[in-house]
Amino acid sequence: MYRKIVGFFTLLLVGVSTKTKLTLPDSSLWKNSYYDKISWFVHITDIHISSWEDDTRQEQLQEFVTKTLSILKPELVMCGGDLTEAKSKALVADQDLSEWNDYRNIVDSRWNNVTWLDIRGNHDNLNIINRNSSKNCFATHSVMGRQGFLHSYKVSLQSRKQKFNIIAIDGTWEVGMRYPFNFVGYIDDQERSILKKLVEEVDQDQEAVNLMFGHYPTSVVEQSSFIRSLISHGLVYLSGHLHDLYFFKMYGMYSYHQNRDLELELVDWKNNRRFRVLAVDDGKLSFKDVKYNQWPITLITNPKDIQFMLPTKENYTLDNTIRVLVFHNQEIKRVTVGINDEEEMEANSVDEGPLYILPWNADKYSDGVHRITVRVLDAEDKETLTEQEFTLNPKNAQNFSRFMSNVVLRWSFSVLFQTIFALTLIFNILIPVGLSLLIYLSQTGRLKHSSRDFFMKIIKWSPIRKLVHVVCQKILCWPLTIFSLYMALGPWTVGTLIEGHTGAIFAWGIIVNSDMVHSQVPFAYYFLHFAFIHPVMVLAIGHLLDIKHGQVFDNRVVSWCGHLACALGVVTMLAFSILLGVTFWSQFGALGIVFGPLKTWSYVFYGVMFFLAWRMGAEQFIKFNQIINDRKDKKNEDEENVNSDDALLG
């Protein structure tokens, strides 16, 4: 009750605002002219402050916002969402006030009160009925939420003779589903209108550099084409959410859209303690992804990395000064720079700051691809080396390209989930229908002799034989087919979905409070169940029928290896199904268990199917015998005809 009262009055003070614009005061750091037109920023995402997981996550974040930021001295920090974990040990998703208090206290203690721009992630929206809910702790505990920025917003900044517009893109749902049903982002009509207006404003300011960041990668927003059209108006789009793709351990997920719009996904703070330092040097972007407490951080801003040149958005006039930003938690003895295989020369520090400069003859390197080497020696005589290729001719630019990065960031998770759902449904319907049709055509003699022979051959293959067994038993085939069809259309779970509001989950979406939530995750759940669990259960039922058939007709065709493979398959898929079911049971309570056809009822359903298969009598296998003996009978009939003809000729 106390929490709700505090949340209510805080929202009254903040207002249920759609505030979207903020102008920051001019930068006052580093007044030396060499710092003109070079500014740097920090990007961090997926912090996941937790009340029960790894405590060092918070401890090191505290050190990061105080000590690390005091060394980096950025213009501002962009924090890309999933500020808190919002999941208990029992995997129940709900906003945890203690986690939000930790986040607020840590961030409010940051160095020099540097501008901190935060945005919601999907975890910050778990179990929240709408933005005006008293449980929306982002509104009461985040930096920008406390200022009334509850949607996408724009921040303008004048820094060292460069003007910046930073647009934060909120791709979270208005209705915050429980875990994991808001994995895919969604931009509704209201948010779309806000973003269009913000982009129209920045387009009018041709001199400004536009940076964009959000929680979701463009591929993980249902309106992926819309968000990609937005980022075409900016220099770069910074995202998170995918962490390191867990088992794949992918670091450096970067990609270009339309060969011109750069998207940089950042690995999480939660498990990997990563953050990004990015600089804009006279309109040209450079960046480096860094692991916490690894020093020094060396960022070459001129000449920039050949892999991340943006010829349509950056100006590449020749500049006769090499510029390198070097950040270190120790004193730096020396910074040397070398080009290609030439002798290295010492660079000079500007105002004892992070900027090191070295004059050079840019005309000498105006064409072709070259290599720059920066060597940093610190007070402990530790030496670090940074190398990158560069070109001063935009025509020689070589876009960063990795297959998996391109696949993950360029596709659409929404389209993927819908496609695999449709294909899974089609296969689960077509296979039994197709086999039934082949059996009918074979038995009625309407199948060509060559086609019938081929059909007889493939039936000998164990998996097909098991499927034919199931198809021959209508009491099994029809319920199994209807089950897969029902799960594509009917409700999976009826229960308490969001903040005590009852709703239903379907494969094609979620209904709560009479509102339709176009979640894409159920499509993926359908795929996992009916592409893996269901086929194994069907084959296991067919295996049981195979055993029964062999017992009845004394024709054993199943080996002990077959028994073992079947048992392992069933146990594995059963464990996998229970693992997926835990999500439903933990999130949606007693109603979710009782009214849960996809999970709770499926175990009863498959149990009944196994029972019916075990109780099959000998007469039930007559049709199957007719099918498998069809070719043999035809062969015997042909032999009898030949013998008869020979006798007549004799």
Taking residue 517's Cβ as centre, other Cβ atoms within 10 Å add up to 21
Does residue 178 contact residue 498 with C-beta atoms inside 8 Å?
yes
pLDDT exceeds cutoff 60 at 122: yes
For the structural domain made of 2-410, what CATH number should be given? Answer: 3.60.21.10
The pLDDT value recorded for residue 117 is 98
The pLDDT value recorded for residue 632 is 44
Taking alpha carbons only, the member of 152, 58, 161 closest to residue 109 is 58
Does residue 121 contact residue 172 with C-beta atoms inside 8 Å?
yes
User: 325-334, 421-430, 471-480, 541-550 — which is least confidently predicted?
Assistant: 541-550
Q: Which residue has the tokens 């996941």?
A: 48
- What is the full DSSP assignment across 391-437? -SSGGG------HHHHHHHHS-HHHHHHHHHHHHHHHHHHHHHHHHH
What is the rounded average pLDDT of the residues 88-102? 89
The pLDDT value recorded for residue 89 is 79
What is the rounded average pLDDT of the residues 530-544? 94
User: 382-391, 562-571, 581-590 — which is least confidently predicted?
Assistant: 581-590
Please tell me the distance from the alpha carbon of residue 162 to that of residue 173, in angstroms, as a whole number.
Answer: 34
pLDDT digit string (tens) for 203-216? 988 889 999 999 99
How many helices and strands, by DSSP H and E, does the chain display? 18, 24
Q: Kindly list the distances between the CA atom of residue 497 and the CA atoms of 130, 221, 504, 582, in Å, as whole numbers in the listed order.
A: 13, 22, 8, 15
Please tell me the distance from the alpha carbon of residue 571 to that of residue 247, in angstroms, as a whole number.
Answer: 23
At 649, the pLDDT band (50, 70, 90 cuts) reads very low
pLDDT exceeds cutoff 70 at 650: no
pLDDT digit string (tens) for 567-619? 999 999 988 888 877 777 777 766 666 667 777 788 889 999 999 999 888 78
Which residues in 53-86 are b (16+ Cβ under 10 Å) and which e? eeeebbebbbebbeebbeebbbbbbbbbbbbbbb
For residue 152, the SS3 value is coil
The pLDDT value recorded for residue 557 is 67
pLDDT digit string (tens) for 128-154? 999 999 999 999 999 999 999 999 999
The pLDDT value recorded for residue 495 is 75
The pLDDT value recorded for residue 634 is 47
What is the rounded average pLDDT of the residues 494-511? 85
At 623, the pLDDT band (50, 70, 90 cuts) reads confident
What's the predicted TM-score (pTM) here? 0.88
Which of residues 549 and 167 earns the better pLDDT score? 167
- For 86, residues 6+ apart whose C-beta sits below 8 A from its C-beta are 93, 94, 95, 96, 99, 123, 124, 126, 127, 179
Please tell me the distance from the alpha carbon of residue 492 to that of residue 504, in angstroms, as a whole number.
Answer: 7
For residue 522, the SS3 value is helix
At 28, the pLDDT band (50, 70, 90 cuts) reads low
Taking alpha carbons only, the member of 84, 67, 180, 70 closest to residue 138 is 84
What is the rounded average pLDDT of the residues 110-126? 96
Alpha carbon distance, N-terminus to C-terminus of the chain? 105
Taking residue 456's Cβ as centre, other Cβ atoms within 10 Å add up to 17
pLDDT averaged over every residue in the chain: 88
What is the rounded average pLDDT of the residues 486-491? 91
Does residue 169 contact residue 195 with C-beta atoms inside 8 Å?
yes
Q: Which residue has the tokens 């913000």?
A: 198
At 640, the pLDDT band (50, 70, 90 cuts) reads very low
- And the tokens for 132? 């005006």
Please tell me the distance from the alpha carbon of residue 61 to that of residue 147, in angstroms, as a whole number.
Answer: 22
Which stretch of DSSP H or E encloses residue 23? strand 21-23
Please tell me the distance from the alpha carbon of residue 211 to that of residue 200, in angstroms, as a whole number.
Answer: 14
Which stretch of DSSP H or E encloses residue 308? none
- And the tokens for 287? 């960046």
User: 12-21, 53-62, 124-133 — which is least confidently predicted?
Assistant: 12-21
The pLDDT value recorded for residue 2 is 42
- And the tokens for 553? 């007709």
Which amino acid is located at 387 in the chain? Answer: E
pLDDT digit string (tens) for 304-336? 999 999 999 999 999 999 999 999 999 999 999
What is the rounded average pLDDT of the residues 509-532? 89
pLDDT exceeds cutoff 80 at 635: no
pLDDT exceeds cutoff 50 at 77: yes
For residue 517, the SS3 value is strand
Determine if the peptide bond prior to 296 is cis (ω within 30°): yes
β-pair type (76-79, 38-44): parallel
β-pair type (153-159, 162-169): antiparallel
pLDDT digit string (tens) for 286-302? 999 999 999 999 999 99
- Percent of the chain predicted with pLDDT > 70: 91
Domain residue extents for the chain: 2-410, 413-636
pLDDT exceeds cutoff 90 at 628: no
For residue 583, the SS3 value is helix
